[in-house]
């Protein structure tokens, strides 16, 4: 038996997959665990806080046309590519790329760098959610009224109407004298600031001296002040670090402890956790949808969300937004899909899985938008404010606007707890997946770490938690914003472009098509190969170019970051991108021959697809424990 095994291993490079490694490699307990883990990974916070706003802001239901087109030409092909790579070579992202195209090994390191940086700030969001869950446990949600010690005199909750009394000193307000009848309507913008409603009938003879028209009394909502003054206690600038928010620090430690214990035994533990964390969001979203459907104004909100405006199809920005959303929602480029695929059985139908998972993610996005806009429609109805002034995206939607809507419901504390528990269950799955990509990438590349997986996971969790401390300071939101925009922005697009080019032309799309055929038993549609070679690279390049051309610097609201803030942001972006050229140069340097000869050597795959197929057949017919 051992002699047969050694004869099979002879063609392999030292970094190529070996049966001994395969024997020790974990596998999913069953197919359901794999599917649920992938669903949990794809269905993240972007489905809730970004997609609904994109649909509303880009032609409503008409936005779904470019969205699904981009899904089929860019999203699905790359999603399938990463899953199939992991499944075929049974390795993490770094080792897989070293086998496929050694010169592109840096793509694997870039993947785990991006994934690690994103886990740092992503778990800060989960810490915020844990804080809100705790805050929801009480007789009244603390963001409902203005009677708390953190509220200012500008806070308006609908009950303190005396604050809206007209003041005679008009010079303290912005004036626009138009007529003698003043009727200013309420206004609620993305930051949920309110303007008073006041109707005054003035004597026309006094028009030039005392009459003030369109007077706006701006007040902040309780949810806005709770978020900024209580939760964040935000400072005025990036340079004003302030003090540590110890309550948020505790929540951050809890979040990382949760992640560690769910990953401590690898996919054996994660595969069991996802039975709850991947399915619970759908149950809770359904409950919120049913409740929201019975709210006054909910139908109007959903109608505004889906009402089609087909003129948007002629605008390039809608197509770029659709492609960008697809890209980030599916989690392409983080290495997680390669890691998940590596735990599959060799003959798993990866094509069917990829198509199914992409469609599940797309329809989850649409459904989440209906849940969100049902509540926003109710807010619009209650406040007599146009819904366009309510709709927003990002943390402001989850932590300001939606809580404001919840506070207007009966038993708001219950719905607040339910909503934030939903967000928690959505967020932790994605966090598990990104950290698993880092762990898998490291232990597959450095074999001596395999027996110390729990220790590796612990060190990574502690390290990421320490980085995250900078985001629970009083200037933490400014730091978070840098990570959010730069750690997985342009760098991730660049990574994906190199990835698809390396596979399509370095390894060979035709060869990869044969690899998939060996796994699933039939030849996949040529469409996939065309996308890997032509369509997807062009689309990704256009998105990358558009992102660079539209870059205007880092801002947070009206605050524009100083130069050193921009430098920190680009340093984060380069922290992942730099691996690609650095490793490529190192590979070329270590080879012998002319530059052209070296380049040919480092582009040549380290193992032929026929060898891997023989190896899989060998494994299926022999018991390595004998």
Annotate 287-307 with DSSP letters as a single string: HHHHHHHTSTTHHHHHHHHH-
The model's confidence at residue 612, banded by pLDDT at 50, 70 and 90, is low
Q: Is 336 assigned to a binding site? A: no
Q: Is the dihedral of CA 84, 90, 93, 99 positive or negative?
A: negative
Q: If we measure between CA atoms, which residue out of 186, 179, 184 comes closest to residue 211? A: 179
Average pLDDT over residues 174-183: 35
- What pLDDT score does 46 carry? 85
Instruction: Kindly tell me the burial class for residue 174, based on how many C-beta atoms sit within 10 Å of its own C-beta (0-12, 13-18, 19 or more).
Output: exposed
- What pLDDT score does 608 carry? 55
The model's confidence at residue 19, banded by pLDDT at 50, 70 and 90, is very low
- Residue 1 pLDDT exceeds 50: no
Instruction: Output 324 or 343, whichever has higher pLDDT.
Output: 343
- Residue 570 pLDDT exceeds 70: yes
To the nearest 10 degrees (0 to 180), the angle between helices 76-89 and 609-621 is 60
- φ/ψ of 329, rounded to 5, equals -65, -40
Q: Please tell me the pTM assigned to this model.
A: 0.84
| End-to-end CA gap in the chain | 8
Q: Is 206 assigned to a binding site? A: no
392 Ramachandran zone, left/alpha/beta (phi>0; psi -120 to 50): beta
Domains and CATH numbers, the chain: 33-147+222-486 (1.10.4160)
Least reliable range by pLDDT among 134-138, 182-186, 211-215, 221-225: 182-186
CA distance 166 to 175: 14
The model's confidence at residue 562, banded by pLDDT at 50, 70 and 90, is very high
* CA atoms within 13 Å, Cβ hemisphere of 519: 29
Average pLDDT over residues 246-251: 97
Q: Is the dihedral of CA 75, 77, 78, 80 positive or negative?
A: positive
Q: Is 314 assigned to a binding site? A: no
Instruction: Output 253 or 326, whichever has higher pLDDT.
Output: 253
The model's confidence at residue 332, banded by pLDDT at 50, 70 and 90, is very high
Q: Is 553 assigned to a binding site? A: no
Instruction: Output 413 or 3, whichever has higher pLDDT.
Output: 413
Q: Is 43 assigned to a binding site? A: yes
DSSP state of 522: S
Q: Which percentage of the chain shows pLDDT scores above 90?
A: 53
* CA atoms within 13 Å, Cβ hemisphere of 502: 30
Average pLDDT over residues 103-119: 96
Write down the residue that tokens 């509540």 correspond to: 375
- Residue 510 pLDDT exceeds 90: yes
């Amino acid at each position: 038996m051992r002699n047969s095994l050694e004869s099979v291993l002879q063609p392999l490079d030292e970094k190529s997959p070996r049966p001994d490694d395969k024997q020790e490699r974990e596998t999913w307990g069953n197919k359901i665990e794999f599917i649920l883990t992938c669903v949990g990974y794809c269905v993240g916070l972007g489905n809730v806080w970004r997609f609904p706003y994109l649909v509303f802001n880009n032609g409503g239901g008409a936005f779904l046309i470019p969205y699904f087109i981009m899904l089929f030409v860019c999203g699905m092909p790359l999603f399938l590519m990463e899953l199939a790579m992991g499944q075929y070579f049974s390795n993490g992202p770094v080792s897989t790329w070293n086998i496929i195209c050694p010169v592109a090994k840096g793509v694997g390191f870039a993947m785990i760098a991006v994934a690690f940086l994103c886990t740092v700030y992503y778990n800060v969001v989960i810490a915020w959610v844990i804080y809100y869950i705790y805050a929801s446990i009480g007789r009244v949600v603390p963001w409902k009224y203005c009677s708390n010690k953190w509220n200012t005199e500008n806070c308006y909750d609908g009950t303190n109407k005396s604050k809206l009394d007209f003041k005679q000193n008009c010079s303290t307000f912005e004036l626009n004298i138009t007529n003698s009848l003043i009727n200013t309507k309420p206004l609620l913008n993305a930051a949920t600031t309110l303007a008073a409603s006041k109707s005054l009938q003035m004597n026309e003879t006094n028009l030039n001296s005392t009459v003030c028209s369109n007077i706006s009394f701006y007040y902040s909502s309780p949810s806005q002040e709770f978020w900024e003054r209580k939760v964040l206690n935000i400072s005025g600038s990036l340079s004003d670090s302030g003090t540590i928010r110890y309550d948020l620090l505790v929540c951050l430690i809890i979040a990382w402890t949760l992640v560690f214990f769910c990953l401590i035994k690898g996919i054996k533990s994660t595969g069991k956790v996802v039975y709850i964390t991947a399915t619970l969001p759908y149950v809770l979203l359904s409950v919120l949808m049913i409740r929201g459907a019975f709210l006054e104004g909910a139908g109007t909100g959903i109608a505004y969300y889906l009402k089609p405006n087909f003129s948007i199809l002629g605008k390039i920005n809608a197509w770029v937004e659709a492609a960008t959303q697809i890209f980030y929602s599916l989690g392409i480029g983080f290495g997680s899909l390669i890691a998940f695929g590596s735990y599959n059985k060799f003959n798993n139908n990866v094509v069917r899985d990829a198509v199914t998972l992409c469609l599940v993610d797309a329809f989850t996005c649409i459904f989440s938008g209906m849940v969100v806009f049902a509540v926003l429609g109710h807010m619009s109805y209650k406040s007599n404010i146009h819904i366009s002034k309510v709709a927003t995206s990002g943390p402001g939607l989850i932590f300001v606007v939606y809580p404001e809507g919840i506070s207007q419901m009966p038993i708001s504390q219950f719905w607040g707890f339910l909503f934030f528990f939903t967000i928690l269950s959505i967020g932790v799955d994605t966090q598990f997946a990104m950290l698993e990509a880092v762990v898998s990438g490291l232990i597959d590349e450095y074999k001596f770490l395999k027996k110390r997986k729990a220790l590796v996971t612990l060190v990574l969790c502690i390290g990421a938690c320490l980085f995250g401390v900078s985001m629970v300071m009083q200037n933490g939101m400014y730091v978070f914003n840098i990570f959010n925009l730069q750690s997985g922005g342009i760098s991730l697009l660049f990574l994906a472009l190199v990835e698809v080019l390396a596979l399509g032309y370095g390894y060979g799309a035709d060869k990869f098509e044969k690899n998939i055929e060996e796994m699933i038993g039939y030849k996949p549609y040529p469409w996939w190969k065309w996308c890997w070679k032509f369509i997807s690279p062009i689309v990704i390049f256009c998105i990358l170019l558009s992102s660079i051309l539209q870059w205007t610097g880092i801002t947070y609201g009206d605050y524009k970051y100083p130069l050193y803030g921009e430098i920190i942001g680009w340093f984060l972006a380069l922290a992942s991108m730099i691996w690609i050229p650095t490793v490529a140069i190192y590979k070329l340097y270590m080879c012998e021959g002319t530059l052209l000869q070296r380049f040919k050597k480092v582009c040549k795959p380290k193992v032929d697809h026929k060898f891997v197929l023989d190896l899989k057949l060998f494994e299926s017919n022999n018991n390595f424990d004998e």
